[in-house]
Structure 1
Amino acid sequence: MSSGEAGCIGARLQEARDRVFAGRAAELGIFRSALAGDAKGLAVLYLHGPGGIGKSMLLRRFAAEARAAGRDVLEVDGRIIEPTPEAFETEADAVLTGDRVVLLIDTFERCQGLEGWLRDRFLTRLPVGALVVIAGRQAPDAGWTYDPGWAGLMRTVALRNLTPDEAAAFLDARGVPRRTHDALLAFTGGHPLGLALAAAVAIQDEESTADWEPSRDVVETLLPQLIGEVPSPTHRRALEVCAHAYVTTETLLRAVLGDAAASTFAWLRGLPFVESARSGLFPHDVVRAALEADLRWRDPEGFAELHSRLRRHLFDRIRTVPESGMLPAVGEFMYLYRTDRYMSDFNSWRGEGELVLLPCEPADHPLVIALAAEVEGAESAELVRFWLGRQPEAFRVYRSTRSGESVGFSAWLRLTEPYGEDVDPVIAAAWKHARGTAPLRDGEHMAVSRFHVTSPGYPKVSPVEDLHQWRFVAEVARAGPRLGWSYIAIRAVEFWHPYLTSLGFDTTVDRPQVGEVRYMVFAWDWRAQPVWTWAEQKTRLMLAHVPGVPGTPDEAPAPTRPTELTVLSRPEFDAAVRDALRALGRPEKLAVNPLARSRLTVEHGVSLQDVLAQAVQALHKERSGEKYHRAVATTYLRGRTTQEAAAARLGLPFGTYRRHLVSGVERVCDALWRLEIHGADGDGHRSA
């Protein structure tokens, strides 16, 4: 094709785009003023907004207007460049030497890690008269605002949905009948890409009326336009995984599709509406929403099964990944529950790659103490100093990957005895609650999630706050069954209380105060309600919104706590084991035994009778265990009998038999207690 033909096609493309372009008058006014030199030295225009909001279309319009004004235009796409300073400068170096060049940077979220370098190193070298437009999903970081030098040179614009008038013009330009405008706007909310997709359907539906609504047929019509032809049901399932998960990797696909994971991942990677990030693949927002809605309607049981598989896989990842990856793993797990109102309100799921979790090294201590003093006061800073001296390994620092600054920290204090309760009022409140409710048993410990300190430059819902709560989930998931109570001390009670209570946390009676700051302490007994029961309960609540899933109502029930397990002291536990042995063969008696509602049975999914039988059989493996096994098995497993008859059957003097029986039962109690406290594999790692 000749350059002339290419130019002709390009001109026709631009003419078609201009013809259907609608809205964005304010943004165009800012850009035109900057082009004309009337914007008081404006050098950088930063556009941000969610996917499909029209950033790329607006940039194309900017490019056309800049060329019409006689300016050279340089376009950089964050999707196709390597996110390194060297690669970016190679792509955009012409703007450093050109005369009044306009640089347009699209999809900046793909190279967001370059933001500090771009602001402080690259843009400062631009000649006067150059104009830069940055478009991405994330708002600019606080460095632009804090630097007075950029105050007069940079303007930030958050792109929103089109107004009703702009949306009407948008639909008019595409030939959509006026009678359907209100319905289409109600369906899309003015989202440009959603409007474009809905408009394409409405135009084809000649019988559409003012009562038009996005029926299931419409969704089915939209989806092929979004995703094209799907080669097989396996590929369709891969798309559904991609829509439900935060990001999709080949490993995640393998958990659902087995050996088909590699081929389907490669297929997903090549789709035009699927984007790649460092951590995996994800679909465009509108595609994700359409696929989810279609699957929930078309195959509610399949949706429930998919969610359960992903939940199990992602929960296991939290427990098994290295510490550096545990918080992203929690974020991916929590994203499965994003349709829960509170989950989406209090998790931002943004800032990927913006922060890293690091151990708090001695060199970090002065910064951590200073940040605590700035945010919570001098008294709290002294408590940070106290715990840094006792449990420095409990502290983690959240560090910006852009600036290297520490922007927050938290502590996960692990306590087996009431050390520090005479110093820290929060710790005193936690111990008081544990003693008065369900004391720790030998071998168990308490954890206190303490000092959720965030730099004042971040809002209440932000990447730092995400990491605070995600660390809590990660520490609980990785702690194993020896974790008894956990506590969270919260300052902004009015803000966080609805979220934490929606998750099932109780509050302690005491409201400890440190300096001028008063805390609310939220508690959870993980022995009575393990983390896997919490995940199951959140799943039930989420699936309650999916009509057609067996066992779930059409209306979501109010948040409730999962069924509590029985937590017994050691004397109560041993008594329950002895009662259960005597009740073997009598199901009605075993059903009311406390062990039938304990971690021994419920968490392992086995009956109390089987648990006891396995423990008795295991006596064989112990040193000199055969004689104890024979005494216990003959007495309790081989039919109801008297102890005298059991001794006679074994051919033992009654005194010898009694010694063997008592020792055997004690060993069974010991073995089951170890299982109760330490878990099946010794470190408490269980599947969710």
Structure 2
Amino acid sequence: MTGTIADRLAVGAGRGFVGRERELSALTAAVTAPEPSFLVAFVHGPGGIGKSRLLRQLVAAVPAGTATVVLDGRDVEPTPRGFRQAMAGALGLDATDPGTADVVGALRDGGADRVLLTVDTYETLGLLDGWLRTRFLPALPASVTTVFAGRDRPAGAWHTAAGWAGMVAEFRLDALSEPEAMSLLRSRGLDGAAALQLNAFAHGHPLALELGAAGARAGARGTPVLPELADAFLGGLPSTVVTAVEAASTVRRVTEPVLGALLGDDHARTAFDALRALPITDVVPDGLLLHDVVRDTVGLELAVRDPDARRAFRRRAARYYTNRPDPADGDLWRHTADLIFLIENPVVRDACFPSARPDHAVEQARSQDGPVIAEIAAGHEPRPCADALARWWDRHPESFAVARGPDGEVSAFVQIIELADADPGVIAADPVTRPWTDHLRANPPSPDDRVLLMRRWLGRESGELRSPGVSACWLDVKRVYMELRPRLRRLYSTVVDLSHLGPIFLPLGFAPIGDPVEVDGVAHQGVFLDFGPRSVDGWLGRLVESETRQERQADGLSPRETEVLRLVASGLSNRDVGATLHISERTASRHVSNLLLKLGVRTRTEAARIAAERGILDG
């Protein structure tokens, strides 16, 4: 008997692979053909339909001499830097911030005739879609075939953008046929009437078949598959394990310390071992991963059946994440992703965990987009403001991004730039930026702080109000947040219709600054977002706390006193408390002193303990 145990496991996994012969054959042919019929393939379908298994089978099926690079979008920071780092790690490069040229060089120097790059769970990398299409993939050697697997169809630009037409293939995975489903169940030890009954309920859905077969092997009674892929399967488990699964459904990854925060330290080890033994969890480098279909279903059922329990799990998780030590650079994205997963505000949540792929692709504006941007601005802005945007374009065209619809036409744009990179003359000449500069003079950022200016976003038809193109631009701004953390401290912008945009922006922490600036009778209100001393992660922690906080205030404290206590417990200085509440540092110091006196404590540490006990501790 020769080879390794891994070889035997690969053979066993191959024997359990059922169906998908057409897709596997076409993908393998593209990887090995001298002139492949496509360069990029998208394998898409609902959760649990077998996309990941098909990718694994493809990697195992490519012939010797073909190099493979395997990535999972769940482990990749959705920024160009994060994707390059993931590629570098897969290629064995020792580079903390590799460039595209480094990755391309490693692929060319690897000695392989052909290269297969697979990216699973691609829906989590929506922020990178335009960059991958326009910047990264075109720079790769022609010997590379890329296969993305995710829940959604590719954005229309993959088929319509210049050069890509005919170079992209789609493979939609549907349910297995009845013969394929029966073959899968036989390979899992289930046959006859039991297999027919199971498939009659599962309708060929691979994950449902797998879970049902696992339940049958474990001796579960009744139909061993669940209407929502979770309920009946969990019904055969002890109540303590069901509680652990419900707790796990509220977080991105599960570790023993996370379970300790959710369930109590006395139960963490037992719960972790029980979860690890379930067929609905995978062991990954940073913990356990509950299958996304089961996780989503269990979480939704818990939200309906016991919303208070789900809210308590999320609140405990947020406190754990915001109070743990600052991560090393290599773990920064994982820490941020943990917090983003807890957010339910769709503007933030969909940035990195989208519910569906937008039909508008966002990419850096090209030189030929200038007239279209000017036309959109002229249609919605007073003449002096449209002229100011033209000056921004002339001086900083790199700061503009555009959203293209399925037809490839520009439907919206956004302009965003770091304060340190912006031409002071352009800022000074802009009629609506005075509230920004006044606020910056009154509240100067520290030398290490990074500040963003988002001068304007506009849709062709909607102006500054929400539309598919504008929403896509807003999501792309979150990519910039990710790139600049952990030093991003503030974002300044301007809005006209605060009555419509306030319900979207104010819950995110935006606040008006200064008086509105009138330009040709149109009032432009300056707004800013202070991420706080812990940057994006601290901001996300505050959003979770705000979402889960009960409506009633802490006993004995006014709403303003409760807010001061929250800020003090978060570690903010008196100066930062003042900046957040838009009061002077002296007034903030007086509020803090009076609060400590009212609480009967002398130190901020004691105040933080009281805040934690009352359930209002913030990140």
Structure with more contact order per residue of length (Cα contacts < 8 Å, sep ≥ 6):
2
Task: Please say which structure displays the higher CA radius of gyration.
Answer: 1
Q: What TM-score, normalized to structure 1? A: 0.46
Q: What TM-score, normalized to structure 2? A: 0.50
